[in-house]
Amino acid sequence: MEAVQREEYVAHYDEGDDYQAPFIIRVSGTCEFVSEIHGRRIEFCEGWDNPGIVEFPTLEAALEAVDQVWELEPMHFSIETVLGDI
């Protein structure tokens, strides 16, 4: 079986961009986000302002997490940044 490349299941990130942490993982096309990664169990929550969304301090940490999430829940995801109040 051929390995799936990250670019096939993760959108909206570019390691060369100057994104500001923290980062969150969203199920693409929805307002559902990763709220818990515990061993082989992944939980999701709904809503951009949900306090249960897991935040990652670096893009690399978010990318490592999305790889783990994808292995358990093979869907398309996007890495997003958390925007504070302006």
The pTM assigned to this predicted structure is 0.81
Any idea what DSSP says for residue 86?
-
Delimit the domains of the chain by residue range.
6-81
- Residue-wise DSSP of 17-56: S-PPSPEEEEETTSSEEEEEEETTEEEEEE-TT-TT---B
**For the segment 15-55, what is each residue's pLDDT rounded down to a tens digit?**
555 667 799 999 999 999 999 999 889 999 999 999 999 99
